[in-house]
Amino acid sequence: MVGVLELGKEWPVARTVSDAVRVLDVIVGFDPRDHEATQRAAKFIPAGGYKQFLNPNGLKGKRLGIVRNPFLKSLNESIFPIFEHHLNTLRERGAAVVDNLEIANISTIVNPSQSGELTLMMAEFKLFLNDYLKDLLTSPVWSLADIIAFNKNNPDLEKTEEYGQDTFIAAEKTNGIGEKETKAIELMEKLSQNGFEKLMKENNLDAMVTPGSGATSVLAIGGYPGITVPAGYDINGMPFGICFGGLKYTEPKLIEIAYDFEQATMMRKPPPLVSFQMTPEFLFESS
Ligand SMILES: *[C@@H]1O[C@H](CO)[C@@H](O)[C@H](O)[C@H]1NC(C)=O
Ligand SMILES: *[C@@H]1O[C@H](CO)[C@@H](O)[C@H](O)[C@H]1NC(C)=O
């Protein structure tokens, strides 16, 4: 599973770096309905798109910073030797590896209720969902409030008892970008400046390398790009990835790094689909 982060926490999931980059080529660009977020970024899209950065020697000459804390300790210890092996692979492929770097205030950054991430996400979720729903031509629901009512009125269909809708209800109680949300935005900006941005610049890095998927918050709160590549399986068969994150508009470098790493390691195994009843066509398409 490969994820490319573009804005916020939208991670298209694909089988390979090449597939993910093809998705990126389709989703980037100016969108008048998402004017603010996409206008500034659009001029950084390289002519000819991102496929040109699928470079099998993309690690050569790159400077990578390894941040272990707190990501490594949340993974099963059986992956530790695999992770060390991958760091050696990065070196062998020609990258300079700076190990054991730390992000300032990392425990705040990875806690969404402390960093401001959750506060803003709740308010934006309501705003943008309502904005989307209100323009639909035909729909059983036209707002978040409608969805909450629909779930209440259709508990069997929506498994409302089983899953609840606490997040919807909490989001519905928000009221746009007010004082609290503005403070949350400012806090995330400050945390990013003093944390990830400083780490990248002080160490002159092309990418930050972290085990697992825990670094998504580090990247999301500042709107930084990242890509996660399969890195192996723990003793219980649980897959884990290695995440490469970079400063804004450095997608070309991240793709070069991720593609070379993927081609050198090829850790992904197609998931065993034994528990499904499969038609031959389904097997063919998903293998
Ligand atoms: C890692 O997996 C093994 C085997 O299932 C288990 O005994 C161990 O407690 C796990 N370690 C952690 C930190 O969860
Ligand atoms: C984060 O850490 C730095 C350095 O340790 C500190 O100066 C700063 O005030 C902290 N807080 C935020 C919100 O960045």
Nearest of 282, 210, 254, 259 to residue 46 by alpha carbon:
254
Asked whether 199 lines ligand 2 (CB < 6 A), one says no
User: Residues 222, 133: contact at Cβ < 8 Å?
Assistant: no
Q: Confidence band (pLDDT; 50, 70, 90) for 60?
A: very high
In the reported structure, the alpha carbon of residue 184 is separated from the centroid of ligand 2 by a whole-number distance in angstroms of 15
Pocket test for ligand 2, best of 194, 197, 202 (most atoms within 8 A of CB): 194
pLDDT score for 8 = 42
Instruction: Point out the ligand 2 atom lying closest to the alpha carbon of residue 190.
Output: 14
| Closest ligand relative to 76 C-alpha | 1
Please state the rounded mean pLDDT for residues 182-190. 98
Q: Is the pLDDT higher at 38 or at 197?
A: 197
pLDDT score for 1 = 35
Nearest residue (by CA) to ligand 2, atom 7, is: 194
Pocket test for ligand 1, best of 76, 78, 79, 235 (most atoms within 8 A of CB): 76
User: Is the per-residue pLDDT at 245 higher than 70?
Assistant: yes
In the reported structure, the alpha carbon of residue 265 is separated from the centroid of ligand 2 by a whole-number distance in angstroms of 37
Instruction: Point out the ligand 2 atom lying closest to the alpha carbon of residue 187.
Output: 13
Report the predicted TM-score, pTM, of the whole model to 2 decimal places.
0.89
User: Residues 104, 198: contact at Cβ < 8 Å?
Assistant: yes
User: Residues 56, 260: contact at Cβ < 8 Å?
Assistant: yes
Nearest of 71, 110, 106 to residue 199 by alpha carbon:
106
Domain architecture of the chain: domains with CATH: 2-104+201-265 (3.90.1300.10), 112-182 (no CATH)
Nearest of 141, 129, 126, 64 to residue 95 by alpha carbon:
64
Helix axes 251-265, 17-27, angle to 10 degrees: 160
Q: Confidence band (pLDDT; 50, 70, 90) for 153?
A: very high
Pocket test for ligand 2, best of 101, 102, 103, 105 (most atoms within 8 A of CB): 105
pLDDT tens digits along 84-101: 999 999 999 999 999 999
Q: Which of 39-43, 47-51, 190-194, 237-241 has the lowest mean pLDDT?
A: 39-43
pLDDT score for 279 = 52
Nearest residue (by CA) to ligand 1, atom 10, is: 76
User: Is the per-residue pLDDT at 275 higher than 80?
Assistant: no
d(CA 77, CA 12): 28
d(CA 18, CA 95): 21
pLDDT score for 219 = 96
User: Is the per-residue pLDDT at 6 higher than 50?
Assistant: no
pLDDT tens digits along 118-144: 999 999 999 999 999 999 999 999 999
Asked whether 105 lines ligand 2 (CB < 6 A), one says yes
What's the mean per-residue pLDDT of the chain? 91
Strand 207-211 versus strand 63-66 pairing type:
parallel
Q: Is the pLDDT higher at 33 or at 15?
A: 15
